[in-house]
Amino acid sequence: MIMKPYMCLGIESTAHTFGASVVSSEGRILSNEKRVFTTESGGIVPQQAAEHHVQHCDSVIKEALKKAKKAIKDIKLVSFSQSPGLGHCLRIGGMAARSIASIHKKDIIGVNHCVAHLEIGRLVTKAKDPVLLYVSGANTQVIAYEGGKYRIFGETLDMGAGNFIDTFARTLGLGFPGGPKIYELSLKSKKFIPLPYTVKGMDVSFSGLLTNLQQKHKSGKYLKEDLAFSMQETIFAMLVEVAERAMAHTGKEELLLGGGVACNKRLQEMAGIMCVERGAKLFVPPNDLLVDNAAMIAWQGMLQFNAGERLKIGDAKVDPYLRTDEVNVSWR
Ligand code: ATP
Ligand code: FE2
């Protein structure tokens, strides 16, 4: 379908982040604004995060338009994260999108957040057909396109890698978010302490490792930096191993990183070494597109809209549990 260039307003609200972004149909990101709900404990109470999104949705959307130097009349399509995520949070973004679409008579489209991570990575890195290692707070999945769908080849059997890292960081008294602080601390150590390593096929598990690390910390026999260093080496080796297995299984020669945990330079380095060793290529989007963001929601919406998908405002409901492999891939 050939269309005149147009603008899409994307709205992200699956969890901590409320984001708004204006992206052009040629793939130019004109703005990518956000506010992130944080607490002292780092834990997320869905109602509180939703309340945060209610408070900030108006200003974030206005900021996104202003930064892009666009008015609402310049927007053709409104895209929102429809699945998966926390129901309370998803509903705020969905409501905002539906209100704008109905008041200003815009087209509306709903997208899957996990698939959007992969597609924004393909846009900005020019990766063609990668395996995606998607490592965020709540999600840890190895995803690739096969047989007309985005398939989940492997995933965490318990918690997401980011939630695991942030929980361990709180145990060490480092505060939230823990990922960047754990990384800084790990640079002070070169002493590797062997830790439980749980890979099952292409799946990973972190809960036993978390208990083990908490016991080691409590014993007082280990330095915090050695635990931080060894934890990173262990879980990143697990993640790189399952990503490599998925690449071998699918025959794909590109690895794309996604999710906030992928901002970690050591994970990027280890993934890079694995790719060099198997003659594959690593693609890493910039940090603001690795973490949850609305630009990826806008871009994903345009891919679906351009492929002919249409959504009625009355059908624009959220689906907290829709899985990546249930998404109908109309645009590839
Ligand atoms: P979801 O699971 O819905 O995608 P989320 O809101 O929890 O989302 P992200 O923003 O993708 O996820 O990722 C959050 C994780 O990324 C946290 O564990 C955080 O500690 C980690 N993180 C964020 N920035 C960095 C960084 N610069 N270096 C290392 N880790 C980081
Ligand atoms: Fe995400």
Environment class of 40 (CB within 10 Å of its CB; exposed 0-12, middle 13-18, buried 19+) = exposed
Q: Who's near 80: CB < 8 A, 6+ residues apart?
A: 10, 11, 12, 13, 93, 94, 96, 97, 108, 109, 110, 111, 297, 301, 316
Establish whether residue 292 lines the binding site of ligand 1, counting it when its CB lies within 6 angstroms of any ligand atom: yes
**pLDDT tens digits for the chain (332 residues)?**
567 899 999 999 999 999 999 999 999 999 999 999 987 776 789 999 999 999 999 999 999 999 999 999 999 999 999 999 999 999 999 999 999 999 999 999 999 999 999 999 999 999 999 999 999 999 999 999 999 999 999 999 999 999 999 999 999 999 888 999 999 999 999 999 999 999 999 999 999 999 999 999 999 999 999 999 999 999 999 999 999 999 999 999 999 999 999 999 999 999 999 999 999 999 999 999 999 999 999 999 999 999 999 999 999 999 999 999 999 999 99
Ligand 1 atom 7: residue of nearest CA: 137
The three-state secondary structure class of 289 is: helix
Ligand 1 atom having least distance to the Cα of 165 = 18
What is the CB neighbour count within 10 angstroms for residue 304?
Answer: 24
What residues form DSSP beta bridges with 308?
none
Structural contact between residues 29 and 21, judged by C-beta atoms closer than 8 angstroms: yes
Q: Which of 174, 195, 194, 177 is nearest to 185 (CA)?
A: 174
Nearest CA residue ID for atom 4, ligand 1 = 136
Q: Is 186 in the pocket of ligand 1 (CB under 6 A)?
A: no
Question: 136 in ligand 1 pocket by Cβ < 6 Å?
Answer: yes
Strand order in the sheet with 131-135: 149-155, 140-146, 131-135, 254-258, 281-283
CA 233/CA 210 separation, integer angstroms: 14
> For residues 80 and 14, what is the distance between their CA atoms, to the nearest angstrom?
10
